[in-house]
Amino acid sequence: MRYELFMICPPWKQFRAYKRSNKILTDSIPPKMWRALRAFNFMECCLSELASNELVVFVWVTEKFTEDCREYMSHLGYKYDTYLMWKRPKWKRCTAVEVFEYLFVFHKDGYWPPKGDFPDPLASPFTGKVKHRGEKPEDAYALLEKLYPTRVRIQLFGSCSRRGWDVFHRNKT
């Protein structure tokens, strides 16, 4: 089956280990780096093997890793289009820092996704809170289903159990 819409929640905390992996000999890869290699190679394989020609990719990323996300997706041949923003609930106690997550939109060369009624990126369309750390706001799924009602959808590294979405590599957090 070829998927036309991907929503990806990669483990960005492992990306720096993934970037350093090409400098390590293959017989001496530490476990942390091995997990990073598996995660990002899995994502790359899914995008190359399961993607349709008319593909739109949505990637969740925290503000700390936005440049890493753009660099990685550019390396895979995807062009950045726009983003949406979500003020995520704080998970650590005793912290006053607000955490913003971005839902970046990417596409392949030669294909431009339909410009539906995409909201203003700063007018955060995702207002709902989530119950568990690995979840994403319900509003995000509803928005994507409204913008792309006939697309075949998949979520990578997700915890979604929603009708109309396939999930690969369900997170256990």
Residues 87-125: tens digit of each pLDDT:
776 666 655 567 788 899 998 876 666 665 666 666 666
Q: What is the DSSP letter of 93?
A: T
CB-CB contact of 9 with 136 (8 Å): yes
> Considering all CA atoms of the chain, what is the largest pairwise distance in Å, rounded to the nearest integer?
50
Query: Where residue 74 sits, what CATH number does that domain have?
Result: 3.40.50
CB-CB contact of 54 with 5 (8 Å): no
What percent of the chain is predicted at pLDDT more than 70? 77
In a domain, 158, yes or no: yes
Count the domains in the chain.
1
Q: What is the dihedral of CA 58, 63, 65, 69, to 10 degrees?
A: 30
- What's the pTM value of the predicted model, to 2 decimals? 0.85
In a domain, 98, yes or no: yes
Domain of residue 74, residue span: 3-168
Residues 1-30: tens digit of each pLDDT:
799 999 999 998 888 888 887 766 666 778
In a domain, 46, yes or no: yes
